[in-house]
Amino acid sequence: MWNELKKEFSIYAKPANPKDYAKILNRSHNAIFNIKPVGDKGAISAAQKKIQVASHAGASAPTRTNSSRPINSQGLRLDMLKGFSDEEKAQMLGT
C-alpha cells in the first residue's frame, strides 16, 4: 500500500500551500481504494421523483364505473346506437 501511495502521490506537483497536501492525499486514497465520487444525485433523484409523480397522476381523480353500460352476450355495447329500434339492433347482432 505504501508503494502505491508513493506512486499515486508522485503524480501531483508539490503544492505551495501545505494545507493542499490533504487534498492530494485524499485523491490518492480514493484512487488506491477505487472510491468513486458520489456525483450529482440530486438530478437523478429529481428525475425519478418526476417519473413517480407522473405515473400516479391519474389516480387522484374519481373513476367511472362500467356497471351502468349494458353489454350483450357478444361484448358489444348497444346503448350508444340512438334512433334504432330494438328489432334493428337485434338484426345488427344477427340474432
Domain definitions of the chain by residue range: 2-32
Give the three cell numbers for residue 33: 481504494
- Residue 70 contacts residue 78 (beta carbons within 8 Å): yes
pLDDT at 61: 59
Give the span between the Cα atoms of 72 and 92, in whole angstroms: 12
* Burial letters 59-75, b for 16+ CB under 10 A, else e: eeeeeeeeeeeeeeeee
Instruction: Give phi and psi for 71, each to the nearest 5.
Output: -125, 135
- pLDDT for 5-31, tens place per residue? 888 888 888 889 988 999 888 888 888
Q: From 10, 46, 5, select the one nearest 28 (Cα to Cα).
A: 5
- Residue 28 contacts residue 9 (beta carbons within 8 Å): yes
pLDDT at 51: 82
Over the chain, what is the mean pLDDT?
77
Torsion over CA of 39, 42, 44 and 48, rounded to 10 degrees? 160
